[in-house]
Structure 1
Amino acid sequence: MRVRLLLILLLIISVESFHAQIGLPEDIKIGVKLPMKSEYLHEERSVWVSLPEGYEQSTKTTYPVIYVLDAENNFNYLSTVYQYLSKEPFGVLPQAILVAIANTDRTRDLTPTNTSKEMSFSGKKQVMFAGSGGNATFMKFIKDELFPAIEKKYRSNGYKVLVGHSFGGLAAINNLLSEPLFNAYIANDPSLWWDKELLIKKTETSKDDFKNIKFYLAQANNAEARNVKDDEHEIAIGKFKNLLEQQKLKNLQWKYGFYQSDDHGTVPLPGNNDGLRYIFRSYKWNFRDAMKNTALINQHYQEFSKDMNHTFKPTELFFKKIIDIAKERSSAESVKELEQLKKEYYP
């Protein structure tokens, strides 16, 4: 009995010693899930939100919002990558709020028309996409319900980007051609074959002016992955790219990327990285020069705002971090000038 009690006591001491060495576990959080009732869609939706570093402490800073389709596939990696690339004051992207929309009926929400397609699986024919064609209603949900809810709850500066992949890329291009709700778009390997290349035809006849809208088109190397050349997916994207080169979408600022090492399933990661860098390309600068000449901060953000056709300001976190660096590396006069400029932006 005494031996058993001694063993139990030793076990307790060992466990307590182990906890003392490594500490108690603590969750690492990258975002929150918000339930949202939609009157347009007649259902509850889940919206996943990631806030930039310092959001809670920076009570006056406003941010662009990156809206992401297919939250289940894209939220975890994109929120982490974006936070890394926008880390103040070294970031190549501006700090932003990420809002990702989880699916309930993906085909319904992301396709512009109701059309079915008969496909063969293991020798058996099956009708696909019978419930398609609800994209117009889905975009009403985004415009009239999601936008107001996000702008009420979070500090948005009004600049919006839409990120989509496959059917999500189709939905992004459909909105661009129909009623642009966003300042910029990223379409990763979009399903432009949909409904006999409906959006290709719409692009061919477009008379609209897309001035001040930015667009990034990413294409995967599906021919190699599927061992199939020139299938309808690749043909449709090629036609759309040719129309962009012919400037069928007047004044649209666009760029194309082909990803030799990626197929349809993996292209969103490099496509979103390059697409966001393209959209915010004028944001990158050498902030270290500003510690010697604070006038460069105003100059940079004025030039960036002009390129984006939207007002952007340095964040409160930017000033906090650059002032801390200046205290270690620059003169007292530089620190004083930076602190004064911060008060001008954030009285």
Structure 2
Amino acid sequence: MLRRALSTLVIALTAGFGLATVPAQAQTQSVPKVQPGEGRPYEIADSEVWDVPDPVSRRGYQVFVALPPSYGKELQRKYPVLYVTDADYAFPIIRQINRRLNLDGPRVEEFILVGLSYGKGEDGAVSRRRDYTPTPNGPSTAPSGAIHGQGQAYQTYLRDQVKPFIAARYRTDPARALFLGHSYGSLLGAQILFTEPGLFSGYILGSPSLWYDKRHILGLEASYAAKNRDLPAKVFLYVGEYEALRKGDRRYSQSVDMVADNQTLEAALRGRKYPGLSVKSVVLNDEDHLSVAPRGFTQGLRYLLPAR
């Protein structure tokens, strides 16, 4: 079981991110499991943790798994799988958002949630700087000696280790593997989209760090377009209003204009007129880089996985 001490915070967060109020009777549809007492850590119910190491780098990683409510009842059904980066915070939040969205009737199709952990024993910032970035040319603000640029190796790990591991253990729909990332996590997602788009059929790219290494990802997009006539994927882009550059106003970014970069990527994708590509992009009002994720997650889920 995945241990977590911040469940109350997660529930409070998801309740406050624009989700509809549900009737009291709807909230009694599921009975939470009794938690272990005597001061032991809170556990996320109905979750699993598996070790899935990378045999190439020899680093240890884990995947966190949450199965949908019907999984043990509809034994012939296959489910879409949503893979999420930065699982330490994203996994419990997305699990709760999905649960609340469907309390008063289905709004989001049921899916298997897979959280992608940081390297075992590593600080999250160290792990994500290395694994989620496309080139070694990290920002000047990074700590001395910080390692960047192993995103391609991590992409290979996802393809060759994580996805086969999940497919071998769960009833997955192989045509419906989805990716969700925020910030550096969505930088990784954009890299995959423009180098190996078939690895996932849908992408939620939140506040992508397109500024990284002189907008390297926009170059990847142009290179892909020069060689391909289609990009079969469903893509949801989100960014916060206050991620625009406006010096002197502390609500806004003081270094990069992520809103403008997001709009540049959206315009490029729409301009390619790929027959198999669907794109939606939103700028979420009154949100910054740290606050925007739960709203972006919610809208992205409803775009990629609307209830049938």
Same fold (TM over 0.5): yes
**Going by fraction, where is helix more abundant, 1 or 2?**
1
In the other structure, the counterpart of 1:113 is: 135
Structure 2 residue runs of 5 or longer lacking an equivalent are: 1-32, 37-43, 120-126
Q: Of 144, 152, 158, which aligns to 2:160?
A: 144
Q: Of 242, 266, 277, which aligns to 2:267?
A: 242
**2:191/2:220 contact within 8 Å kept:** no
The alignment partner of 2:302 has SS state of helix
1:54 to partner: Cα distance: 2.9
Q: Of 187, 190, 206, which aligns to 1:173?
A: 190
1:225 to 1:100, Cα distance in 2 relative to 1, 3 A? farther
Does 2:184 align with 1:164? no
The alignment partner of 1:161 has SS state of strand
1:187 to partner: Cα distance: 0.5
Does 2:204 align with 1:186? yes
**1:53/1:83 contact within 8 Å kept:** no
Number of equivalent positions: 253
In the other structure, the counterpart of 1:11 is: none
1:201 to partner: Cα distance: 2.0
Matching of residues 1-347 of structure 1 within 5 Å: 25-26=34-35, 29-86=45-102, 90-104=105-119, 105-119=127-141, 127=143, 130-158=146-174, 159-180=176-197, 181-205=199-223, 206-207=225-226, 208-221=228-241, 222-223=243-244, 226-228=251-253, 231-247=256-272, 251-281=276-306, 283-284=307-308
1:195 to 1:249, Cα distance in 2 relative to 1, 3 A? farther
**1:85/1:91 contact within 8 Å kept:** yes
Normalised by the size of structure 2, how large is the TM-score? 0.75
Deviation digits for residues 192-241 of structure 1 (CA, Å, limit 9, x no counterpart): 01111111122234232444410000011224654446834344223222
Q: Following TM superposition, where does structure 1 have runs of at least 4 consecutive aligned residues deviating by more than 6 angstroms? A: none
- Return the alpha-carbon distance in structure 2 between the equivalents of residues 134 and 266 of structure 1: 27
1:50 to 1:249, Cα distance in 2 relative to 1, 3 A? same
Normalised by the size of structure 1, how large is the TM-score? 0.67
**2:178/2:202 contact within 8 Å kept:** yes
- Return the alpha-carbon distance in structure 2 between the equivalents of residues 262 and 148 of structure 1: 37
- Return the alpha-carbon distance in structure 1 between the equivalents of residues 168 and 220 of structure 2: 35
- What percent identity do the matched residue pairs reach? 26
1:272 to partner: Cα distance: 1.4
**1:184/1:215 contact within 8 Å kept:** yes
**1:203/1:248 contact within 8 Å kept:** no
